[in-house]
Structure 1
Amino acid sequence: MHITSASPSWPGLAVVERASDGRIAAELRAVEFAHRAGHGMKRIWLNEEFRRRIASEPGAWTQRSMVAPPVDADRGLWLAADHLLGGLVRDFGAEHLVIGAPGCGSWLRVEPVGHRRWNVAIRGPRDIWKELRDLTARWQAAGSPGRYRLHVDANGGQRAASACGRLTWPLPILRPVDEGTAT
């Protein structure tokens, strides 16, 4: 079953297995694509006007960094970002790393400018670069997981957790949505 969020950017897949003794184990895996991502939730998008602004406007703050942005292959990090940073959408059509927060108008643009150097530009009330760097440090401290254990409590609440428990977040409880009224 695909785990969904408001952003279509970083999907997850829940894999549940029942052992022959009846024990159930479940994990959340970061995947590249998801079937019906965002189903049952109000979706967030980067519209064309917002994409143009990100591509053309100077950042309110720009720095040259020797810290590399996370790579696409770090899917476990991006899956955690989707749930822990919330409200972010990746522009996969951009040449380099571009992330926007449509709800508040914040954005991040990271472009290489030589060997191990990047220009980082941000705009808006959120410092997406700092949020992403802080989460990257937490993700690395948790062992850079690509998979997370799924836990379900007696009341139906769900959370994902790295094997060591250092990176944990709740999963939304989705109510059935009438196909004719889904947003």
Structure 2
Amino acid sequence: MEFAHRAGHGMERIWLSEEFRHRIANQPGTWTRRSMSAPPADADRGLWLAADHLLGGLVRDFGAEQLLIGAPACGSWLRVRPVGCSRWDVTIHGPRDIWKEIQELAVRWRAAGSPGRYGLRFETDGGQQAVSACGRLSWHLPTRRPVDEKAST
């Protein structure tokens, strides 16, 4: 199974290979810690959309029973498993601390009012920016590259 949501035109499609998903699900990782901070819910679509743009290079395995996220470019990964009432085992591997990145983004997302939708701001230089209603969470959208007419003929 290959699946990666990469919002926005012009962004490279990335995925988790079967071998990488198997490693995430079964290897011990670099370290595991117990957390009382819940992973973001599937329904927090505004947070996951922001993560696509602000955290970059992460792919979530939506087919897994628990939260599995990999960063194929550097080999980092995250596995979060529930271990009781309001407790999770968080296992990390690789140079990126994906759990910390997601938790820090979740704080920013909540401070912005937990937006499920973002407005589109057009800039004078032709760029575009996605912005939460209160303006506290935003990112620039990738610009379209002109089509090389010689390459398309």
Length-normalised TM-score, structure 1:
0.75
Task: Report how many aligned residue pairs link the two structures.
Answer: 147
Quote the residue 2:102 is aligned against: 132
CA deviations 1:36-65 (Å, max 9, x no partner) are xx7644311100111111111112011011
Q: d(CA) in 2 for partners of 1:77 and 1:45?
A: 20
Quote the residue 1:107 is aligned against: 77
Q: d(CA) in 2 for partners of 1:87 and 1:56?
A: 22
Verify the 8 A CA contact 1:62 1:120 in the aligned structure 2.
yes
Length-normalised TM-score, structure 2:
0.89
Verify the 8 A CA contact 1:108 1:122 in the aligned structure 2.
yes
The correspondence for 1:163, drawn from 121, 133, 136, is: 133
- Listed as ranges, the gaps of 5+ residues in structure 1 are 1-6, 12-37
Quote the residue 2:25 is aligned against: 55
What displacement does 1:148 show? 0.9
What displacement does 1:156 show? 1.4
125-134 or 169-178, which deviates more: 169-178
- Listed as ranges, the gaps of 5+ residues in structure 2 are none
Question: Higher helix proportion, which one?
Answer: 2
The ranges of structure 1 where at least 4 consecutive aligned residues each deviate by more than 3 angstroms after the TM superposition are: 38-41
Determine whether 1:172 maps to 2:138: no
Verify the 8 A CA contact 2:81 2:89 in the aligned structure 1.
yes
CA deviations 1:14-34 (Å, max 9, x no partner) are xxxxxxxxxxxxxxxxxxxxx
What displacement does 1:10 show? 5.8
The correspondence for 1:119, drawn from 89, 92, 104, is: 89
1:39–1:143: structure 2 CA closer, same or farther, 3 Å change rule? closer
Determine whether 1:42 maps to 2:12: yes
Verify the 8 A CA contact 2:118 2:133 in the aligned structure 1.
yes
Cα RMSD (Å) of the superposition?
1.8
Verify the 8 A CA contact 2:9 2:144 in the aligned structure 1.
no
Q: d(CA) in 2 for partners of 1:177 and 1:81?
A: 28
The correspondence for 2:118, drawn from 124, 148, 157, is: 148
Question: Higher strand proportion, which one?
Answer: 1
Quote the residue 1:65 is aligned against: 35
Quote the residue 1:86 is aligned against: 56
Quote the residue 2:44 is aligned against: 74
Quote the residue 2:4 is aligned against: 8
Verify the 8 A CA contact 1:10 1:75 in the aligned structure 2.
no
Verify the 8 A CA contact 2:14 2:57 in the aligned structure 1.
yes
Identity %: 71
Classify the secondary structure of the residue corresponding to 1:113: strand
